[in-house]
Structure formats: C-alpha cells, structure tokens
Structure 1
Amino acid sequence: MGMCPGTTGVTTMFPSSHILRALADEDRLGSYYFLMTVTSAPVIIFLLLNVFTHVNSSHFEGGTITYKIYSFNSSYAQVLITQTYIYSSAITCTNAMIASQSPIVDLSTRGDFNISLICVANCTTSGGYTPILHTGYCTDLSAALAISVTQRSDLETLSIGSYFQVAFQQSSWRSLTNGGSFWSVACTISLILRPDGLTLNTPPVATLISPIAIPVGVVQYIQIPTIDADNDDVRCRFATGAQECADVCPPASLPSGTTISTDCTLTITGAQANDWYAVALQIEDFWDTTTNTAFSNVPLQFLIHVYATPSPCLIRPYLYGNFTAGECVGVQVGQPFTMTLFSINYCQSSGYNILDIATLSFPIVTKTTIAPLNSTVSYVTLTWVPAALQVGSQVMCSVAVDDQSQQSNQYCVTFTVGASSVPSCPGETIATTTTTSTSTTSTSTSTTSVTTVTVL
C-alpha cells in the first residue's frame, strides 16, 4: 500500500478484539485486523478486513442439561452434570468418533468455541461450582436429518445446601420465523435436602430429537418424554426470561395458540410451510401434586420445522420397537443391552424409501446400518453396555425419516440403570405378596388373605 505524497511513517498491524467479538456474536470468524499508517500529517487509518475463513455458524439445534448425585456425605456431594446438545451436520461426527468417544467435537470455527457452562443466578450459594466447558463427544449422527449429537458429563464437588442456576449461552440458532439468534439453556441445581431430611433431589431427565418436522395446518400433539428417579410429580412449562430462553422465549417465539400442558404435551399448529420455530421448555419436579415449589428444573430446547404436505403420498412412516413407546426398562451396568427399531413405510408403492432411523441417545450406543426386513419395513439394531457413571435415569428417542423428508412419530424409551442388578423403574410395582392363613374350628373354617404391594 502506498502513502500520500510527502509523508513518512511506520505501518503497524494490531488485532481488533472488539470487532472480532462482535462478528463472533454474528458467527462469522476469521482474521480481522487494522492497518494503520502513522504519518507526520494527520493520522490516516485504513481498515482492512482480511477474512481467511467465513463460517455461517447457525449450527445450534437444541439440547438439554441435567445432573444427578453421584455420592454425598454431610458436607459435600459429588454431582455429575450432563450436557447434551444437537448441532447441524456442519459439526462433524462419525461412527468411529461415537464408538471411541474421541476426539472431542471440533467447534474451533464457531462462535461458541471454548464457551463454558457458567453460573447465572444465585451464584453466592453455588457451593464451589467451577465453570465447565460445553464441548462434548459424539453420541449420534444422522445424514438424513443433517444433525450431529454431542454429550459430556463432568463431576463437580459442591457443598450441601447449594442452590444456583447454570446456563450455556451463545449464538446462533438457524434463521427463525419468530425470535432471534441467541440461546440460553439453563438448569437449576439444588443440593437442599428433600422434605424427608435424608436425601438429595435428583431432577428429571427429558429429551427429544431436533428438528421435529410437522405438516402445515395440522394440529400436532407432541408428548415430551421424561423420567424422574425420585418418582416426583413432573410438570412442564414454557421457559421465561433471558436466562432461560434468551431470544426464543415463548409464547412470542411460537405460532399463535401454541400451549404446553403441565403433563408435558406440546400442542402446536404450523401456519405456513418452511417456517422454523425454537421451542424452549423447563421441566420441573415437585414433592407431589399438591405442592407448587419445584425442587429443580431442567431445560429442553428443540426446533420445529413446518413442511408443505407432500404429494402423492401423505402418510408418514410409523416407528416402533421392542418396547411400548414411553416404557421404562431396567438395565444393569456392564451387561449388554440390545433393542431393534422398526419403521413401516406407507409410501413404498409411490417410490419413496426410508432413509434413516435416527437416534438421540448417550455413550456408547452403536447402531447398525438401516436394512430392509421386507418390502415395507426397515430396521436398525442398537447395542449398549451401560457404564458406572450412567447409573440412574436415561432417555433415548428415535425417529424415522423418508426421502420426502417426512418424519415418523418420535419413539422414546426411558431406562433405569442399576449398578449391580437390574433395577425396577420409579413408581413401578416390584413385588406382590399374598399371605393366606386358615383356621378351623369344630363348626367352621375361615380363611384370611393379606396382600402386600411394594412400590418404589
């Protein structure tokens, strides 16, 4: 670059950190710097924007955060905090990364690179919490849905009595019909003793595959799958405020008339094809149906995509498995567990095929390549060996997708993992014992039966 006639000077380059931050918030990362020419005349500043990479980072598609008590004494608890996030397939996951749980996913060109799960409320009672990174390891991928799923779990030692809120906050959502680009996924952690004065609370676990595709103009009822290890009363509500939902707070972020019931059914109708919405929910647990103070709350955020009714075949695939949808299954650490998912293709005669049966699971669930069972049914087989850190509650969801981009029903199963035996699920009747005694006199015989039912 030449200087003005008659001037002398020194050319200096320096990073423009504030521009980098602003552009990172818009998810465009690259090399930004000023080129300054200092002269004996008035200073002239040339701004040179040299972008060697330019990445549209609208990659976030939802997620959830939960925790459980790993161990505790009278003073401290070891708390396992688990973060699960869904990204567009621009974030690379492979089957090898899922199987080896290595390496960590690469977010180095994204605005949320090196962002931590931070305390955002009641931090004076956070009990020694230290921020942990959000970047996780691959658990699932689907080319048909164009998603990659990550999860990480971290142990934190916290003081008994701690009560605070953590959040993963950054941008960007994809372009949405209502709402902006920033997200905040927030979880309230409580180490306050439950009313029995003996135990610490375990919050609910909830998850859904994102995005969920719904046909335009047809009311949809989406059941949110949840499990609570304490068998508490679980309720759902819309997220509220900047800490829980940032730019996508309901109801303004959703189509008119969208509701969430306390029993966790989302009712939504897509008004226009190609609309995209972000749903931000909080799932809370209560001592019983009569109480109104939650022990804790965990987030669940996901995308809704409205599609035009396809032609000529309008019937979505149907997905089912070895267990009833929503069923809880007991499994044991170290013991292999296998299940098969089946998808019925009602559009096969119109020339359409099932592309994938996608899953949202946990480490390490391996999935076979989708294969035909017959002319209309396809299947995959899942295998999982539960690990010690997975003792407690887990939720797995799946969905089939065809080459019209039609999705099946979401098929979800919950699991309760036992350390040394196959456990019963929360609230499940585990034993029914009938004791019968008979007494006889010279004139009559009487029989008395006593039935004892034990419920977790």
Structure 2
Amino acid sequence: MKYKALDELLSANGANRNPLDKTELKSWIALIVTAVAATSIFGLVWLIILLAVPIILLVIGTRYRDPRYCPIEPRISLFLIVSGSVALALITLNIIISVVTIFLTSLRYPYIQCTNNVPITTTGFGGANTNLSCVVDCSTDGGYSSSPINILTDCVSASSSFSMMTSEGTKTKTLAAEAHFYIAYRGSAWVPLYDPAQRGLEWSIVTYIDLRKRPDGFINTPPVVKFVSPQYTFVNKTIKINIPVSDANAGDDVRCRWSTFTSGYRRRKRSNDEENHENQHQPDHRYKTQNDNNEIINTRKKRQTCQCSSGKLCTAIECQNTLCTGIKCASTCCDSVATKISTTDSTTSTAIMTTTGATSATTLTTVSTSIMSSTTLETVGTLKSTSTYPIRQAIDECADICYPDRVPTGTTLSNCTITFTGDKAGVWYAVAIQVEDFIDSTSTTPMSSVPVQMLIYVQPQPACSDAPIIFPLSRCLEVQVGISISFNLSIMDLCNQTVAKLADIIISSAITGMTRDNLTSSPTNSSVSYVTFAWTPQANQAGSKQLCVIAFTT
C-alpha cells in the first residue's frame, strides 16, 4: 500500500463562485433517480425469474405424481419435485447468506455512527462516555477533578474501506492559577497486537498540564501534534515515520521520547528544597538532569527548625494542622503565621480526537492533551491499578505498549522520527510517544507533555509498488465567507487494476465544516477515481486553511 500527500490551500477571502444552475441540478437528480429505479426493477425481474423456475418444477412434479400420467418413466415427477426443491432451497439460502453478510458487514467498524457526540450517539452505546481523569498531583489540579473533561467528540471523516473514523472535539475549562497535574484516558480494547496476536491489551494515555508561569514569565502553550494512524509499511522494509510537531512559543525546544511507566513512592518528611523539587514536573526517568541536589528515595536531610516553611504546599504533611491557608505557605514560616494568598483564574482548552484505533486531544490555549488509541469501543475490564502509593501515584504513560518490549528489534526514535522495520506480514503494532517542550535546548525540565499513540500495520510485499498520484498537486481556491463551494480531488492508480486498486483517501489535516463524498470511479478512465469535497466557509475561518489527504491502494 503506497500513498502520497496533498496540500490543498483554501483561502476564505475573496472571489465568488457561481452556484450550480438549478435546471442542471434537477437534470442530474432525475438521471440518478431513473438509474436507481431501473436497477431496482431489473433486479426484481431477475429475482422473479430465478424463483419461477424451481417453483414451476415443483408444481409440475406435484401435479403429475400419479404413475398413470407417465407409465414409461414414473419417477420423472419425483425428479422434478426434488430438483425444484433443491433449486428453491439453494436460492433461498443464497438470499439469506447475502442478507446476513450485509448485516454483519454493517457491524464492522466504524459501527460508531459518524455524528456528533461520538460514541454515545450510536444506538446501544449511550453509556459509553467517560472522563479524562486526574491521576497524579490532583491536590493541585485547580478544581479540575470537580468537573473533568469527557471523551465525547464530533466525527469529521469516516472510511468504510478502511473501517475507520476520525473525530475531534474542543473542551474549555477554567482552572485556578498555579494548577499543575496529570490527566489520563485508560482503556483495554486495542486491536489484536503483536505476534502472536494478543487481544484486550490496555492503553494509558497521559498528559501533563502546568499553568504555572514559565521562567520567562508567561503561561506555557503546549506543542501541537498532527499525525495519521494507522501507518502502513511493507514486510522487511525500513520506514521513517515523522511526527509533525509545532509550538506557539517561539524559541521553545520540542522533543519526543518513548512513553514510560514511572513508579509511585512513599516518603517521609523532607526539607523545603526537596518539597519544591517534587512540585516540579518529574523528568528523572526521561532526561539526564544537571541538578546536583536530586531527590534520592529513602534519603532525607536534617530536619529544619520550621516544619511548614515558605513555598510548601498547604496540603503537605508538614503543613497539616498549621496556620497555612490557600495553596502554599506564603510567609517565612507558617507554623505560627497564617498567610492567605489569592488565586486568579486561567482558561484552558483541550481538544479530543478519535481515529482508527484512536482518541486524540490537543491544547488550543494553555493546556494540551493529545490522545491516540484504538478506535474500537472497549468493554473495559478490570484495569491494572496505579493507585497504590499514598504520597505520589505511579505515572503510566503506555500500559501494555511500552517500548522496547512491544516493537521489532531495531526500532528507534530520534528527532520525533520513528525508524521501524516489520519482520512479519499481517502484524499490528502500537507505539506510545510523549512530545514535550522545554524553555531552551539546555533545559531538562519539560513544561508540558503531550501523548501520541498510533498503530503500525505490516503488509506483505506488494506486486506493484508504484504510489498513486493525487492531482491537482498544487491549487489554491479563493472562496467567500457564506458561499458554498465544491471541488474534486482526483487520484490515479499507476498499477495494473488486477494487481492493486485504489482503496480510499484518508484526511490527515481537515478543515472544520468541510465534508467529503465516497471515492468514485471515473466513468472515462478506470485508473482514475475522485472524491468530492464541499465547504461553506464561516466568518471565523477567514484566512488560509490547509487540507491534507493521503491516498491508499490495496
């Protein structure tokens, strides 16, 4: 399966496009209705003929069963009855099998309907909603746990050929200033992964949110990640999968690393600087630290005279039953001085996306969550608990797909590019990565952490490896706000039709409000297919917009 990407630039700033002539539209509608009616009538006539033959045989055989009607060969009537019955049974069985096949095909993914509020708008899944739950540092979540974000999203595209659907959603939350915590989406319904295939493997998709001011005095905007899942590769062929990342904060250093599991811990009371170290995002398992005063579990410094000193959280053990109020101790010592600090509100925005085997959330303002998982709807069993530590809970970023145990030998990640070689065809893999931003290239403390989880499928070597061509390859459409437009993207298959056929196109970067039709074969060229897109630009969409698609062959 080969593919090529297309950037289709749409600028909502100018020219009018004449709407389709009403007479021409009516002619097309009449033609379509006539064609459908003719096909239906032909099919009905053909079914009647097929059923008429065995019925006639049955009637004749039954009518002339008496041997006196055919004394020379009295078993002819019996032959007619048997042959008519068998033919009628075979036709009936074929109809039943066809109906059952259509029904079962309709149950294949995406069995979740491509509507808003995925997945609960699909019949039978009204109770499938859940929340992105706070899992670590929830005492400083700024009020998130009292009103968490749910996973409901709106469908933006679907492909019946690939049994895949993509949905997105934007949620806005108002949290207290200085909030910093981890949220997660957990489940257990990956497609069967690895070799031998394992079913029901768990996912755990974790993001870190920090509304505290950066060293430069601003609240951080996390990086944004856009990717396509699943990725396809051929057996024994090395591919490089690039993870496109961007960051609104100019000068930030964006890095990618494998997702990991970090154990929680219990601790005894520690000194003030150790407490402050805990309140920062923990990078120990990810990057080499330059801090000479890192915490070592089971080791503590000499107890200071003031137990609840300046900067300590009021929820800390040392500050319990003291005069510490608010979030942190704001005086030199809160053992005997009560200090109240005020908080301000900061608005965060989180977007959630679901794709093949996936859910993704991306920060739009001050917080970002990027979630990708199997798009099959899970029946969640008993997930492995990570809440076993009374002081700091475990951070499970990858569950059952942690690197390096779950990918082929030689798989690497460098500069947000995965190098992957599948050694057996027909095998699904899943990878989990964290995208993090740093204040500069020398920093070892990430300011946010955005998860990316995607599927990779290994295919047999193709009989034809020529990639299809998408055209026009470069075109800018000027459109006017409120005026509907439609346009076609055409794809040419360079392979022999008996070897490889166009399967579908997948939208890797969509435009809000734009719809697409199914892949349609060209009536004049069997090697060319096209997809029709329609869009009515809104006032808040003025400016350049980008549509990116990928064409697949099978």
Same fold (TM over 0.5): yes
Greater alpha carbon shift after TM alignment, 360-369 vs 267-276:
360-369
Match of 1:63 in 2: none
Output the CA distance in 1 between the equivalents of 2:207 and 2:417.
Answer: 20
Does the aligned pair in 2 maintain the 1:333–1:387 contact within 8 Å? yes
Match of 1:401 in 2: 552
Question: Residues 277-288 of structure 1 correspond to what in structure 2 (within 5 A)?
Answer: 277-288=429-440
Does structure 1 residue 273 correspond to structure 2 residue 409?
no
Q: Note the C-alpha offset of 1:268.
A: 0.2
Match of 1:168 in 2: 185
Q: In structure 2, the residue corresponding to 1:380 is in which secondary structure?
A: strand
Match of 1:224 in 2: 243
Output the CA distance in 1 between the equivalents of 2:126 and 2:405.
Answer: 25
Output the CA distance in 1 between the equivalents of 2:239 and 2:109.
Answer: 26
For residues 319-363 of structure 1, give each alpha carbon's deviation from its aligned partner in whole angstroms, at most 9, with x where no partner exists. Answer: 577569xxxxxx999898988655442214546432311114364
Q: Note the C-alpha offset of 1:90.
A: 3.9
- The letter for the 2-side match of 1:364 is G
Larger radius of gyration: 2
Does the aligned pair in 1 maintain the 2:239–2:420 contact within 8 Å? yes
Output the CA distance in 1 between the equivalents of 2:194 and 2:423.
Answer: 11
For residues 207-254 of structure 1, give each alpha carbon's deviation from its aligned partner in whole angstroms, at most 9, with x where no partner exists. Answer: 322222210000011111222222332211111116211111111111
Question: Residues 295-306 of structure 1 correspond to what in structure 2 (within 5 A)?
Answer: 295-306=447-458
Output the CA distance in 1 between the equivalents of 2:204 and 2:480.
Answer: 35
TM-score for both structures, normalised by structure 2: 0.48
Question: Residues 401-420 of structure 1 correspond to what in structure 2 (within 5 A)?
Answer: 401-402=552-553, 404=554
Q: In structure 1, the residue corresponding to 2:401 is in which secondary structure?
A: coil
- The letter for the 1-side match of 2:240 is Y
Output the CA distance in 1 between the equivalents of 2:472 and 2:411.
Answer: 30
Does the aligned pair in 2 maintain the 1:125–1:164 contact within 8 Å? yes
Question: Residues 372-387 of structure 1 correspond to what in structure 2 (within 5 A)?
Answer: 376-380=527-531, 382=533
Ranked by relative contact order (alpha carbons within 8 Å, sequence separation 6 or more), the top structure is 2
Q: In structure 2, the residue corresponding to 1:158 is in which secondary structure?
A: strand
Does the aligned pair in 2 maintain the 1:321–1:340 contact within 8 Å? no
Output the CA distance in 2 between the equivalents of 1:203 and 1:287.
Answer: 11
Choose from 175, 191, 203 the match for 1:158.
175
Residues 208 and 93 from structure 1, CA distance in 2 versus in 1: closer, same or farther, beyond 3 angstroms? farther
Q: Note the C-alpha offset of 1:137.
A: 1.9
Match of 2:465 in 1: 314
- The letter for the 1-side match of 2:202 is F
Question: Residues 359-378 of structure 1 correspond to what in structure 2 (within 5 A)?
Answer: 359-360=507-508, 361=510, 363-371=512-520, 376-378=527-529
Does the aligned pair in 2 maintain the 1:208–1:397 contact within 8 Å? no
Choose from 197, 202, 206 the match for 2:221.
202
Residues 388 and 104 from structure 1, CA distance in 2 versus in 1: closer, same or farther, beyond 3 angstroms? farther
Residues 394 and 372 from structure 1, CA distance in 2 versus in 1: closer, same or farther, beyond 3 angstroms? same
Q: In structure 1, the residue corresponding to 2:458 is in which secondary structure?
A: strand
Output the CA distance in 2 between the equivalents of 1:145 and 1:219.
Answer: 23
- The letter for the 2-side match of 1:115 is T
RMSD of the TM alignment (CA)?
3.8
Match of 2:234 in 1: 215
- The letter for the 1-side match of 2:256 is C
Residues 332 and 298 from structure 1, CA distance in 2 versus in 1: closer, same or farther, beyond 3 angstroms? farther
Match of 2:101 in 1: none
Output the CA distance in 1 between the equivalents of 2:457 and 2:111.
Answer: 20
Q: In structure 1, the residue corresponding to 2:396 is in which secondary structure?
A: helix
Match of 1:252 in 2: 405
Choose from 437, 444, 447 the match for 1:292.
444
Output the CA distance in 2 between the equivalents of 1:337 and 1:236.
Answer: 39
For residues 62-105 of structure 1, give each alpha carbon's deviation from its aligned partner in whole angstroms, at most 9, with x where no partner exists. Answer: xxxxxxxxxxxxxxxxxxxxxxxxxx8243234xx3xxx46754
Q: Note the C-alpha offset of 1:163.
A: 1.1
Output the CA distance in 2 between the equivalents of 1:171 and 1:218.
Answer: 30
How many equivalent pairs are there? Answer: 305
Q: Note the C-alpha offset of 1:393.
A: 12
Does the aligned pair in 2 maintain the 1:285–1:294 contact within 8 Å? yes
Residues 267 and 372 from structure 1, CA distance in 2 versus in 1: closer, same or farther, beyond 3 angstroms? same
Residues 395 and 295 from structure 1, CA distance in 2 versus in 1: closer, same or farther, beyond 3 angstroms? farther
Output the CA distance in 2 between the equivalents of 1:304 and 1:118.
Answer: 27
Does the aligned pair in 2 maintain the 1:233–1:287 contact within 8 Å? yes
Residues 284 and 273 from structure 1, CA distance in 2 versus in 1: closer, same or farther, beyond 3 angstroms? same
Match of 2:506 in 1: 358
Output the CA distance in 2 between the equivalents of 1:213 and 1:244.
Answer: 24
For residues 27-46 of structure 1, give each alpha carbon's deviation from its aligned partner in whole angstroms, at most 9, with x where no partner exists. Answer: xxxxxxxxxxxxxxxxxxxx
Q: Note the C-alpha offset of 1:138.
A: 1.2
